[in-house]
Amino acid sequence: MLDWSGARSEATTIAEAWTREGGPGGAIVLFDRDGIREVASGGFAAIEHRLPFTPDTPNRLASISKHICAALLLRAGVPLEEPLGRLLTGAPPALAAVPLARALDMTGALPDTMEAFWQQGVPFTASLGSDEILARARAFPALNAEPGTEMAYSNTGWRLAQAVLEQHSGESYARLVESLMAPLGLPIRFVRDESEVVDGLATGYWREGDAWRRGRYGFNFSASGGMAGSAAALARWASALLAGREAFAGLLDRLAAPRTFADGSASLYRLGLVASSLGDVHLLGHGGSLPGYRNHVLMAPEQGVGVVLLGNREEEALWPTLRVLAALLGQSLPEPAEQMPNGLFAAEDGPFWAEFGADAISFMGGYEKLVCDGSGGMRSLPAYLDVRLTRSGADAIEGLIGGMPRRLQRVPGATPLDPRLPGHWRDKNLGTEILIRGDGSARLPWAGSSIETVLTPLPGGRALADLAHGPWRHRPCFWLQPDGSLRLAGHRSRILHFDRLIDGATP
């Protein structure tokens, strides 16, 4: 029995807290196969003008946009198992052999353009058009890993998918989205970048101390995150997918069809949707994040219901959405993970590290809350990354992260900086330079110039940097190679490879 009254009460409680705070807010919309059933909203769409956020306020959908791109690919009959190089003229050479489907299900090991550019010093506030971004991506020297071995989030495949659709159809992506939404009369549109005017668009905000600041994002959005629309419009779209009527018959099943790693094991990430569960209820959903915006949509396909939460505030959105859906379905929220570890852990070798605390894991910068798995271990209820771990003694964690077996050991608190790390280093392919000093400080390219940071040493010739830019934090790992070179890796980009400079030149 669905409890619409209880779910409405839970949504109202969340929305009223936004209003009491007097800052940015959001809207929560509950729906079923027939359309919208309940709504709640609170806070401001524009703090400066005291404009209320309503269910009809346009917002940036961010990565919720991805499954809309996938729907267009499926309806156009684009062969997803074909390699990118066969589908797209001028595909980046290092990425050309990756099947489009793997580029979309996050197992393609494609370097994420934004994170790769960050690591080269390009700020995310820089105004870069789609052609400029693709031109830079063509210089990527390699993939992050072997395709099919790991789920690691990347927007690059979706950016390339947009180019595939435009080349395949001969139409602009904005026009393709317009045609998809027209039968439903939905005001969901593709927006190229933050300079494009969207009538009534909520302003995005992030918190710095006690103050709210406006979010900025200069890059071309692309199909990976460029949709704008209201919570009510997104709920009506999701309702049409659940109903599967007429032109949408079977579309949700195709979007959510199981995907596997190269070894045949199952991945929870599908075509712009993440599969998960709440009790015995199967869920599909996806989150979205841009500076100042955090969103989530969750659907229970077998029950034919779902919840949309769109907000113009930089804070976690999955769990508020899950609270409302749990109330609707009469399900209990997962229990917190038992015997949750705290502190910094790292693999025996390679750049793989994790930090645990406050019921959550940050794996190489990819963040997920952890809950009890019912068997003494811990798991994510993934917004993006599937995590399944158990304790192995007091100082070790093992299990699967993104489908990849990992064993992580606690980093001793007094770990010194490896004496081989200090020096002046230059990437041989992209020209990026860094300086590491013997006292553990470093100068790195960042946010359009350079930044000073203090490294956190890890055993085995490795160290973490700590870089902040607006609401985001980036903690790439440096690790020495057997030949004396140095590599750098984050969760989404692992392509920078440095040689030591001697008197201004590589040895």
Confidence (pLDDT) at 503: 56
What does residue 318 show for φ and ψ, rounded to 5 degrees?
A: -60, -50
Give the Cα separation of 104 and 315 in Å (integer): 26
Please say which residue of 284, 299, 329 terminates a domain.
329
Is 338 inside a domain boundary?
Answer: no
Q: How many domains does the chain have?
A: 3
Please say which residue of 356, 381, 410 terminates a domain.
410
Give the Cα separation of 444 and 456 in Å (integer): 14
Q: Are residues 435 and 388 in the same domain?
A: no
With tokens 């139409």, the residue in question is: 171
Is 247 inside a domain boundary?
Answer: yes
Token couple for 176: 């393709």
Is 120 inside a domain boundary?
Answer: no
Alpha-carbon distance values, 61 to 65, 241, 242 (Å): 6, 17, 19
Confidence (pLDDT) at 125: 86
DSSP state of 347: -
Q: Are residues 298 and 404 in the same domain?
A: no
Confidence (pLDDT) at 449: 82
Q: Are residues 247 and 356 in the same domain?
A: no
Token couple for 375: 């068997």
CATH code of 96's domain: 3.40.710.10
Confidence (pLDDT) at 338: 83
Is 57 inside a domain boundary?
Answer: yes
Q: Read off the amino acid at residue 206.
A: W
In contact, 367 and 381? CB cutoff 8 Å? no
| Mean pLDDT per 10-residue segment, the chain (507 residues) | 97 98 98 98 97 98 98 98 96 96 98 92 89 91 96 96 97 98 96 95 95 93 97 98 93 98 96 96 97 97 98 96 98 90 95 94 92 92 91 94 97 95 95 96 88 95 92 93 96 96 59
Q: Are residues 165 and 242 in the same domain?
A: yes
Q: Are residues 310 and 367 in the same domain?
A: no
Q: Are residues 310 and 393 in the same domain?
A: no
Confidence (pLDDT) at 507: 40
Tell how strand 462-464 and strand 477-480 pair up: antiparallel
Q: Are residues 219 and 307 in the same domain?
A: yes
Is 30 inside a domain boundary?
Answer: yes
Alpha-carbon distance values, 313 to 214, 223, 293 (Å): 10, 22, 5
Q: Are residues 388 and 462 in the same domain?
A: no
Give the Cα separation of 401 and 243 in Å (integer): 34
- The 3-state secondary structure of 57-125 reads CCEECHHHHHHHHHHHHHHHCCCCCCEHHHHCCCCCHHHCCCEHHHHHCCCCCCCCHHHHHHHCCCCCC
Give kind and range of the element (H or E) at residue 284: strand 281-290
Q: Are residues 277 and 405 in the same domain?
A: no
What residue numbers bound the domain in which 367 lies?
343-410
Token couple for 235: 């709920």
CA dihedral sign, ordered 386, 391, 394, 395: negative
In contact, 306 and 236? CB cutoff 8 Å? no
CB-based burial label for 450 (10 Å; 0-12, 13-18, 19+): middle
Is 448 inside a domain boundary?
Answer: yes
Confidence (pLDDT) at 208: 92
Give the Cα separation of 170 and 409 in Å (integer): 52
